[in-house]
């Protein structure tokens, strides 16, 4: 079975793919490399290229048609498509989405300059640039194909790289890939995430002995907004995971929960998780930013 991987800018897709190539013999086909090379050839940066592509679909169509062609010719190869939309075109694939805290993403790309085609003046510029690039791409693909590549429900496995090492994430993909051989089912949107990337919407309550499966059979219920993940319903599993120093837990989307709005959550809710887990959150969502009274 083929693998398709997409995700947020700065979430570590290329690093994960490199590990999969070296460890499990996967060949990697990267449209991101194609984009950067094209920008370099044209003497512009990747943001300018995205703006250009928003008005000229021929660039995307050329790349997407090549993905379709290769997938049709090599359906049983150990091949990974590192591409925004390969999951949409390669239906018989293990569909992976990588995400990351927006502030961590900005730090990564700022310190990993990729030449003239992808430069930033400072961290704030990186945050703004990544957000704009992501919006341009998301709007472009919605207009062209009517799909949202950031919708978790399109994927089999969602990996949050904010606190988790690329090697661990690559191992999880290998486990999923080996278990999925010959099977075809609707995407199940299983979320693999550090408890330090989960934000409370209520107090944590009492802790208990954590399950050996890291909550895989009874995943934490969450909602996602702007790259941040908020726990809904019972918060005791989150407190338990943090107190036990679990490196990761499994979570799933809560379709009935309301997404927090700006300033709707008490910032004091963040104190107990950080105390139990002995850490500081990578970023503070606007849901906790209540502003002047």
Domain range annotation of the chain: 2-174, 194-266
Percent of the chain with pLDDT over 90: 64
Q: How many whole angstroms separate alpha carbon 281 and alpha carbon 230?
A: 13
User: According to the model, what pLDDT value does residue 116 have?
Assistant: 55
Model confidence at 183, pLDDT cuts 50, 70, 90, reads low
- Token match 């790259």: residue? 227
Higher pLDDT, 120 or 146: 146
Condensed to tens digits (0 to 9), the pLDDT of residues 190-218 reads 999 999 999 999 999 888 999 999 999 99
Condensed to tens digits (0 to 9), the pLDDT of residues 127-149 reads 898 998 889 889 988 998 999 99
Model confidence at 94, pLDDT cuts 50, 70, 90, reads very high
Contact 64, 89 (CB under 8 A): yes
Region of residue 283 (left: phi > 0; alpha: psi -120 to 50; beta: else): beta
Condensed to tens digits (0 to 9), the pLDDT of residues 36-75 reads 666 777 787 766 776 777 777 777 777 788 888 889 999 9
| 3-state class (DSSP) for residue 217 | coil
Higher pLDDT, 19 or 30: 19
Model confidence at 264, pLDDT cuts 50, 70, 90, reads very high
pLDDT, averaged across the chain: 89
Residue 82: is its pLDDT beyond 90? yes
Contact 164, 247 (CB under 8 A): yes
Contact 4, 149 (CB under 8 A): no
Higher pLDDT, 237 or 68: 237
CATH code: domain 2-174 is 3.40.50.300
Residue 113: is its pLDDT beyond 70? no
Residue 3 has phi, psi (to 5 degrees) of -120, 135
Q: How many whole angstroms separate alpha carbon 269 and alpha carbon 230?
A: 12
User: According to the model, what pLDDT value does residue 43 have?
Assistant: 82
pTM, two decimal places: 0.88
User: According to the model, what pLDDT value does residue 60 have?
Assistant: 76
Model confidence at 276, pLDDT cuts 50, 70, 90, reads very high
Residue 18: is its pLDDT beyond 60? yes
Contact 201, 230 (CB under 8 A): yes
User: According to the model, what pLDDT value does residue 258 have?
Assistant: 92
Residue 39 has phi, psi (to 5 degrees) of -60, -40
Higher pLDDT, 243 or 31: 243
Contact 3, 177 (CB under 8 A): yes
User: According to the model, what pLDDT value does residue 160 have?
Assistant: 98
User: According to the model, what pLDDT value does residue 293 have?
Assistant: 42
Ordered strands of the 157-160 beta sheet: 27-30, 79-82, 2-7, 93-99, 157-160, 190-193, 249-253, 220-225, 228-231, 198-199
């Amino acid at each position: 079975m083929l693998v398709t991987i997409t995700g947020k800018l700065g979430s570590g897709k290329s690093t994960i793919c490199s590990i999969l190539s070296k460890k499990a013999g996967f060949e990697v086909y990267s449209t991101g490399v194609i984009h950067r090379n094209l920008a370099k050839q044209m003497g512009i940066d990747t943001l300018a290229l995205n703006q250009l592509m928003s008005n000229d679909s021929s660039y995307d169509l050329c790349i997407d048609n090549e993905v379709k062609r290769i997938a049709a010719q090599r359906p049983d190869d150990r091949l990974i498509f590192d591409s925004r939309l390969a999951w949409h075109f390669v239906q018989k694939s293990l569909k992976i989405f990588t995400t990351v805290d927006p502030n961590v993403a900005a730090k990564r790309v700022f310190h990993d300059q990729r030449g003239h085609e992808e430069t930033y003046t400072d961290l704030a510029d990186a945050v703004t640039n990544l957000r704009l690039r992501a919006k341009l791409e998301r709007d472009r693909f919605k207009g062209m194909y009517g799909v949202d590549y950031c919708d978790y429900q399109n994927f089999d496995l969602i990996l949050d790289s904010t606190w988790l090492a690329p090697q661990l994430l690559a191992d999880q993909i290998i486990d999923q890939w080996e278990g999925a051989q010959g099977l075809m089912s609707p995407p199940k949107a299983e979320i693999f995430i550090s408890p330090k990337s989960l934000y409370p919407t209520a107090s944590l309550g009492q802790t208990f002995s954590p399950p050996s499966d890291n909550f895989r059979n009874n995943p934490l219920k969450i909602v996602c907004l702007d790259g941040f993940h908020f726990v809904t319903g019972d918060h005791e599993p989150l407190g338990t995971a943090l107190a036990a120093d679990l490196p990761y837990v499994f979570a799933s989307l809560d379709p009935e929960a309301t997404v927090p709005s700006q300033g709707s959550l008490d910032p004091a809710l963040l104190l107990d998780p950080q105390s139990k887990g002995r850490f500081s959150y990578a970023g503070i969502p606007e849901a906790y930013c209540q502003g002047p009274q």
